Amino acid sequence: MITLDDIRNNPEVQELVVGAQNQLDALGYTEHSVRHVSIVSQRAGKILEELGYGKDRVELAKIAGYLHDIGNGVNRVDHAHSGAIMAYNILKEMGMPIKDRTEIMSAIGNHDEATGTAISDISAALILADKSDVHRNRVVNKNMATFDIHDRVNYAVTNANLSIIKETRKVVLELTIDTTICPVLDYFEIFMQRTMMSKYAAKYLNIWFELIINETKLL
């Protein structure tokens, strides 16, 4: 079985992750580098592991998480779709069985809120993991005077924790937002669609999505 370590050590994958970040740097987007894909990979795997899925499903979720943003190296627009095809071809060359690489392709192709939705356990875990990575470490632009709303909201988030509570079958995203930088309402202005996508992804896994901001339950 192809593992996450195999993916991390693949020179082609390494260059594609770097290339994707270089393009987003030029466009002024938030960080999508090794840091982001590693967090998404770890969280996607943890979600399925905590919910009792088998090791094979957990590993596929981790791989999907690590590869999900390589399409940004082509173009930010439709990056989920181009990245899905790129990942499929890489995994094919590495010898991954067709069923597994097809599932990863579908998960990556459906992770963007503009065109995607949860269509499998791997897809749902990827969506929850990806949309939960909101943090000031993702802000590339360090000049607060030139922040747009995406920079401001991400920079205001000083802590973001995603946890699974098995007893009540809940996935909880808990954020700490510095309201001297931006009001909580700004978070919903840019992340409402992502929040609803996360809620549906949780529903696909037969769990409940809960959002807590500054110790107040909002969803």
**pTM for the predicted model, two decimal places:** 0.95
Token digits of residue 178: 């510095």
pLDDT in tens, 104-154: 999 999 999 999 999 999 999 999 999 999 999 999 888 888 898 889 999
Contacts 24+ apart (CB under 8 A), 168-172: 168/208, 169/206, 169/207, 169/208, 170/207, 170/208, 170/209, 170/210, 171/47, 171/128, 171/202, 171/205, 171/207, 171/208, 171/209, 171/210, 172/210, 172/211, 172/212
pLDDT in tens, 157-199: 999 999 999 889 999 999 999 999 999 999 999 899 999 999 9
* Cα distance between residue 159 and residue 56, in whole Å: 31
